[in-house]
Structure 1
Amino acid sequence: MDRRTACLHQADAFREKAIADPEHHDQWIDEAIKWLERAMEAGCRAVVTVEGGDMPNVARGAAADARLSLITRQ
């Protein structure tokens, strides 16, 4: 498993904790956001430019952005 995927799994675990533990919801969401930010950083470092402008890891970074956006809205 690569670093980005591991970070996304950790973020999901904290999101689940937030759902299961409403009393500490904000604390768990803050942790999830930290892990999503780490995933985005790992994804940015993994982007490789291929001739022709094809950058396959950009979509993965966008997925992490979408998760961060979703979590911060809850």
Structure 2
Amino acid sequence: MDRRTACLHQADAFREKAIADPEQHDRWIDEAIKWLERAMEAGRCAIVPAEDGDTGDLPEAAADAQLGLITRQ
């Protein structure tokens, strides 16, 4: 399981806690939101725009990302 999926599962668990524990609903929803934000961060890709494969003066890692050699942070 990748990091993004694990974070989404954790967010789901906190949403379930919010339903099961109405007295602490807001607390559990806040926790779920934190895990959703972590999932969004984990799902971001490193993409550097360039035209026609021209990497110009980009650093090596950025050039590799443009060429599709690096797809995740």
TM-score (norm 2): 0.62
For residues 1-74 of structure 1, the aligned pairs below 5 Å read: 1-44=1-44, 47=45
- The structure with more radius of gyration: 2
Q: Deviations over 1:11-37 (max 9, x none)?
A: 000000000000000000000000000
Cα distance in 2, alignment partners of residues 37 and 17 from structure 1:
18
| Structure 1: 4+ residue segments shifted above 3 A | none
- Structure 2 unaligned runs (5+)? 48-73
Matched residues, number: 50
Distance in 1 separating the partners of 2:5 and 2:36:
10
Query: If each structure's helix is expressed as a fraction of its own residues, which one has the higher value?
Result: 1
SS of residue paired to 1:40: helix
- Stretches of structure 1 that go unaligned for 5 or more consecutive residues are 50-74
Percent of matched pairs sharing the same residue: 87
User: What is the Cα-based RMSD across aligned positions, in Å?
Assistant: 2.1
